[in-house]
């Protein structure tokens, strides 16, 4: 098992944030704001970013955090009620937190950084979270533009691969050169086992994982892709980096993020890929963009030199890249 101070921190952080957002979901899941890019953000996203950012600043003073959310909308008059709700949930962890503290902690992550920093997706799959489906808390450490550590907290996943409502949830942790492990999200439970990708080498047997949201991928092209490889099973729709956990734990062979025709210029964000990608590579899989290039985390908040994402168990990667080419993806 990986036992560096950074890994211990990341495991504790995604467990704590996972539990916090579960409480938000139980009490008030419908409270969502719409961001400038029309995507939703909930009290849970803000509260989880505040708590993880605060914990990071205490554990590693001076560490830089690149987080998905910012407190700009909460500082406006129109965000006052949402801020009050966020503060209520943050106080379940930090009882003395003031509204200004909470905004300041969230904004610890509202920065750009290129070389060495942590990156947080406080709720990845916010749309899944709102629907009561899969979501994940994703935290990664990037050094010199390379992901060196990643943790995924998946509250609705059992053993890193089976959707399960109301169970303990799963944590995946991976560090460069040290493998990937899956364990329980419950505090103090030490049931870690090594995560390994599936060994399936026959493309026809591949289980394909994709987004639920049409706006996040290209459903039609995924169907053509599956046809080109003679894949028998229908693709599995799953929100968030829970998909990356499932692939790492051997519950699928291919994961596709194709370019949505609705948003042809969309550029992937680092917090959507950093933790998930190291979990997969350390479990023996392979992650590239749709052109076979490695994901390049050295350009700040986005993967601006990459196009989409392909992750596989490794054995099927070249076949998948060829099939992507053949369907024009
Ligand atoms: N047009 C688009 N193409 C690809 N990904 C997109 C997208 N618009 C939003 N996303 C990202 O897709 C993530 C969810 O992925 P998935 O569809 O696999 O669940 C979102 O993360 P958040 O939910 O953290 O905002 C968001 O960052
Ligand atoms: Mg979002
Ligand atoms: Mg995300
Ligand atoms: Mg998010």
Atom of ligand 1 nearest to the CA of 257: 4
- Third-level CATH fold of 5-194: Fructose-1,6-Bisphosphatase; Chain A, domain 1 (3.30.540)
- Is-contact 171 150, C-beta < 8 A? no
Given a cut of 90, whether residue 32 has pLDDT beyond it is no
Residue 253's contacts (CB-CB under 8 Å, 6 or more residues apart) are 197, 198, 200, 205, 206, 207, 208, 247, 312, 313, 315, 316
The answer, yes or no, to whether any atom of ligand 1 lies below 6 A from the CB of 215, is: yes
Cα–Cα distance, 173 to 151 (Å, whole number): 4
- Res 28: pLDDT: 75
> Is residue 10 within 8 Å of residue 151, measured between CB atoms?
yes
CA of 105 to the centre of ligand 4 (A): 16
123 among the known binding-site residues?
Answer: yes
Residue 199 annotated as catalytic:
no
With a cut of 90, say whether residue 37 has pLDDT above it.
no
Please work out whether the CB of residue 239 comes within 6 Å of at least one atom of ligand 1.
Answer: yes
- Domain segments of the chain as ranges: 5-194, 203-326
- The answer, as to whether pTM is greater than 0.90, is yes
Look up 234 and say whether it is catalytic. no
The angle, 0 to 180 degrees and rounded to 10, between the axes of the packed helices 5-28 and 80-90 is 120
Q: What percentage of residues in the chain have a pLDDT greater than 70? A: 99
Name the residue at shortest CA distance from atom 12 of ligand 1.
216
296 marked among binding-site residues: no
> Using one digit for the tens of pLDDT, what is the confidence trace for 209-241?
999 999 999 999 999 999 999 999 999 999 999
The answer, yes or no, to whether any atom of ligand 1 lies below 6 A from the CB of 39, is: yes
Of the ligands numbered here, which is closest to the C-alpha atom of 217?
1
- Cβ-based neighbours of 197, under 8 Å, separated by 6 or more: 247, 248, 250, 253, 280, 283, 284, 285, 313, 314
User: Which residue's alpha carbon is at the smallest distance from atom 23 of ligand 1?
Assistant: 125
Q: pLDDT tens digits, residue range 157-202?
A: 999 999 999 899 999 999 999 999 999 999 989 999 999 999 999 9
DSSP codes of every residue in 184-196: ESSTT----EE--
- Of the pLDDT bands very low, low, confident and very high (cuts 50, 70, 90), residue 30 is low
| Residue 226 three-state SS | helix
| The domain over range 203-326 is classified in CATH as 3.90.550.10 | no
């Amino acid at each position: 098992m990986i036992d560096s101070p950074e890994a211990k921190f990341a495991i504790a952080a995604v467990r704590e944030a996972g539990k916090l957002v579960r409480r938000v979901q139980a009490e008030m899941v419908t409270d969502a704001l719409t961001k400038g890019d029309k995507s939703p953000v909930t009290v849970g996203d803000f509260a989880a970013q505040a708590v993880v950012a605060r914990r990071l600043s205490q554990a590693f003073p001076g560490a830089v955090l690149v987080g998905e959310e910012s407190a700009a909308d909460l500082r406006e008059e129109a965000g006052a009620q949402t801020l009050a709700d966020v503060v209520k949930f943050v106080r379940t962890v930090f009882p003395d937190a003031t509204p200004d503290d909470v905004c300041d902690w969230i904004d610890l992550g509202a920065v750009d950084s290129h070389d060495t920093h942590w990156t947080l997706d406080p709720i990845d799959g916010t749309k899944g979270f709102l629907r009561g489906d899969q979501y994940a808390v994703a935290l990664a450490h990037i050094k010199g533009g390379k992901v060196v550590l990643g943790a995924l907290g998946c509250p609705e996943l059992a053993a890193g691969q089976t959707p399960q409502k109301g169970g303990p949830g799963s944590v995946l942790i991976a560090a460069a050169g040290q493998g990937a492990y899956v364990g329980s999200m419950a505090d103090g439970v030490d049931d870690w086992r090594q995560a390994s990708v599936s060994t399936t080498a026959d493309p026809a047997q591949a289980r394909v994982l994709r987004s639920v949201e049409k706006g996040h991928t290209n459903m039609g092209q995924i169907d053509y892709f599956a046809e080109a490889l003679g894949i028998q099973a229908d693709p599995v729709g799953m929100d968030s980096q829970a998909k990356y956990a499932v692939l790492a734990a051997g519950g699928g062979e291919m994961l596709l993020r194709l370019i949505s025709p609705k948003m042809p210029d969309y550029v992937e964000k680092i917090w959507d890929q950093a933790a998930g990608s190291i979990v997969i590579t350390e479990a023996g899989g392979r992650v590239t963009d749709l052109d076979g290039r490695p994901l390049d985390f050295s350009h700040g908040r986005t993967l601006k030199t990459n196009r989409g994402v392909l992750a596989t168990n490794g054995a099927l990667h070249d076949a998948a890249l060829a099939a992507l080419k053949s369907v024009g993806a």
